[in-house]
């Protein structure tokens, strides 16, 4: 299976996992040590390796990661799925945004996976 076909398959599997359910999310500093969380470490490594081909962008300001540094990773994991997660990334500049602005951008992004979703622990 080609990388693109594999990615599509992975995306379908992920969407299937979150359908009608919820996700557990973590916003993690890009400098954090993820060695105790091999799944997250693997996902970050794959994300970094794919920057030249996929040209991912910051979910806060849409800057391309070919030009800016990651500041924080937003992981979304379907509960009960041990080896599947998505990662979206915030650039170093956007990490200085007020928490409400980061949350607003994260909600907008995650609603691509769960339409009308919201954070349950929202204050
Ligand atoms: Zn940004």
Q: What's the pLDDT at 1?
A: 44
> Tokens in use for 41?
């470490």
Q: Which residue from 89, 74, 97, 99 is spatially nearest to 24, judged by alpha carbons?
A: 74
Residue 89 CA to ligand 1 centre (angstroms): 8
pLDDT at 7: 61
CA of 20 to the centre of ligand 1 (A): 30
Centre of ligand 1 to C-alpha 65, Å, is 9
- State how far the Cα of 71 lies from the Cα of 92, in Å rounded to an integer: 4
Ligand 1 centroid distance, CA of 95 (Å): 7
Q: In what order do the strands lie in the sheet with 70-77?
A: 24-29, 70-77, 86-91
Question: In angstroms, what is the span from residue 68 Cα to ligand 1's centroid?
Answer: 8
| Distance from C-alpha of 24 to C-alpha of 85, rounded to nearest angstrom | 9
CA–CA distance, 74 with 28 (Å, rounded to integer): 6
> What's the gap in Å between 83 CA and the centre of ligand 1?
28
Q: What is the Cα–Cα distance from 80 to 12, expressed in whole angstroms?
A: 17
Per-residue pLDDT of the chain (123 residues; tens, 9 = 90+): 456 666 666 666 666 666 557 788 899 999 999 999 998 999 999 999 999 999 999 999 999 999 999 999 999 988 776 677 889 999 999 999 999 999 999 999 888 888 888 777 754
**32 Cα to the center of ligand 1, angstroms:** 18
- Ligand 1 centroid–CA 2 distance in Å is 30
């Amino acid at each position: 299976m080609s990388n693109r076909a594999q990615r599509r398959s992975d995306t379908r599997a992920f969407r299937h996992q979150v359908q009608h359910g919820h996700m557990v999310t973590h916003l993690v500093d890009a400098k954090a040590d993820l060695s105790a969380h091999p799944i997250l470490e693997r996902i970050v490594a794959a994300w970094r390796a794919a920057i030249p081909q996929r040209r991912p962008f910051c979910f806060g300001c849409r800057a391309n990661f070919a030009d800016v540094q990651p500041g924080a990773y937003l992981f979304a994991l379907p509960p009960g799925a041990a080896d599947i997660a998505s990662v979206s990334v915030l650039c170093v500049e956007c990490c200085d945004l007020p928490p409400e602005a980061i949350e607003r951008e994260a909600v907008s992004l995650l609603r691509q996976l769960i339409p009308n979703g919201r954070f349950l622990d929202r204050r």
